[in-house]
Structure 1
Amino acid sequence: MTSQKTAIFWAILAAGLYALNAPVSKLLLEEVPPTMMAALLYLGAGMGLAVVRLVQRMTGKGKKEAPLTKKDMPYTVGMVVLDIAAPIFLMVGLTMTTAANASLLNNFEIVATAVIALFIFREAISRRLWLAIVLVTISSAILSVEDVTSFTFSYGSIFVLLACVCWGLENNCTRMISHKDPLEIVVIKGFGSGLGSLVLAFCLGESALPLVYGVCTLLLGFVAYGLSIFFYIYAQRYLGAAKTSAYYALAPFMATALSLVIFREKPSISFFIALLIMAVGTYFASTDNAAEK
Structure 2
Amino acid sequence: MKSLDFSPAVLAALGAAALFGASTPFAKLLVGGLSPFLLAGLLYLGSGIGLTLVRLFRDRGWKSPGLPMAEWPWLLGAIAAGGVAGPVLLMAGLAHTEAATASLLLNLEAVLTAVLAWVVFRENADRRIVLGMVLIVAGGALLAVPGAGQATAGLAGPALIAAACLAWAVDNNLTRKVSASDALFIAGIKGLVAGSVNLGVALFAGSTLPTVTVAAPAMLIGFLGYGVSLVLFVLALRGLGAARTGAYFSTAPFIGAATAILMLGDSTSLQFWLASGLMAAGVWLHLTERHEHEHTHEALEHRHRHVHDAHHQHEHDFEWDGTEPHTHPHRHIPVTHKHAHYPDIHHRHRHS
- In the other structure, the counterpart of 1:35 is 37
The 8 Å contact of residues 113 and 169 in structure 2, kept in 1 or not, is answered as: yes
- CA deviations over 1:214-265 (Å, ceiling 9, x no partner): 1111111111111000011111111111111111111110110000012212
Judging by fraction of residues, say which structure has more strand.
2
Does the 8 Å CA contact 1:4/1:238 hold for their aligned counterparts?
no
Measure the CA separation in 2 of the matches of 1:277 and 1:20: 21
**Counterpart-to-counterpart distance in 2, 1:219 and 1:143:** 30
Aligned to 1:81: 80
Q: Specify which structure has the bigger relative contact order, considering alpha-carbon pairs within 8 angstroms and separated by 6 or more residues.
A: 1
- After TM superposition, the structure 1 = structure 2 runs for residues 1-293 of structure 1, keeping only pairs within 5 Å, are 5-58=7-60, 67-82=66-81, 83-147=83-147, 153-291=154-292
Name the Cα RMSD after superposition.
2.1
CA separation in 2, counterparts of 1:290 and 1:75? Answer: 28
Q: Offset at 1:66?
A: 6.1
| Contact 1:112/1:168 (8 A) holds in 2 | yes
User: In the aligned structure 1, how far is the partner of 2:130 from the partner of 2:64?
Assistant: 34
Change (3 A) 1:65 1:229: farther
Question: Secondary structure in 2 aligned to 1:143?
Answer: helix
Give 1 or 2 for the bigger CA radius of gyration.
2
What secondary structure is seen at the aligned counterpart in 2 of 1:163? helix
Cα distance, 1:32 vs structure 2: 2.2
Tell whether the 8 Å contact from 2:139 to 2:279 is kept in structure 1 after alignment.
yes
| Number of residue pairs the alignment of both structures matches | 285
Higher helix share: 1
Q: Which runs of 5+ in 2 are unaligned?
A: 294-350
1:225 alignment partner, SS class: helix
Kindly indicate whether the alpha-carbon contact (under 8 Å) linking 1:249 and 1:282 is maintained by their aligned counterparts in 2.
yes
Q: 1:230 to 1:158 in 2, by over 3 A?
A: same
The answer on whether the counterparts of 1:67 and 1:184 sit within 8 Å (CA) in structure 2 is: no
Alignment partners' CA distance in 2, 1:44 and 1:38 = 10
Query: Letter of the aligned partner of 1:77 in structure 2?
Result: L
Shift of 1:40: 0.8
Secondary structure of the residue aligned to 2:180 is coil
Answer yes or no: is the 8 Å Cα contact 2:86–2:168 preserved in 1. Answer: yes
The CA deviation at 1:147 is: 3.6
**How far has the Cα of 1:4 moved from its partner?**
7.4
Structure 1: stretches of 5+ with no match in the other structure? none
CA pair 118-65 structure 1, distance change in 2 beyond 3 A:
farther
Structure 1-normalised TM-score? 0.92
Alignment-mate amino acid for residue 281 of structure 1: G
Give the deviation of 1:287 after TM superposition: 1.9
Identical-pair percentage: 36
Check conservation: 2:84, 2:194, Cα contact below 8 A: yes
- Going from structure 1 to structure 2, the CA distance change for 1:17 and 1:65 (only over 3 Å counts) comes to farther
User: In the TM superposition, what whole-angstrom CA distance separates every residue of 1:29-84 from its partner, at most 9, and x where no partner exists?
Assistant: 24222211111111111000100011112289xxx996212101221111110120
* Superposed displacement of residue 17, structure 1: 1.1
CA distance in 1, matches of 2:80, 2:186: 14
Per the alignment, residue 312 of structure 2 pairs with: none
C-alpha distance in structure 2 between counterparts of 1:108 and 1:290, whole Å? 23
Could you tell which deviates more after superposition, 171-180 or 264-273?
Answer: 264-273
Query: Aligned with 2:275: secondary structure?
Result: helix
CA contact (8 A) 2:176 2:237 kept: yes
Does the 8 A contact of 2:180 with 2:238 survive in 1?
Answer: yes
SS in 2 for 1:265: coil
- Find the aligned partners of 1:180 and 1:107 in 2 and give their Cα distance: 27
Distance 1:104 1:65, change over 3 A: farther
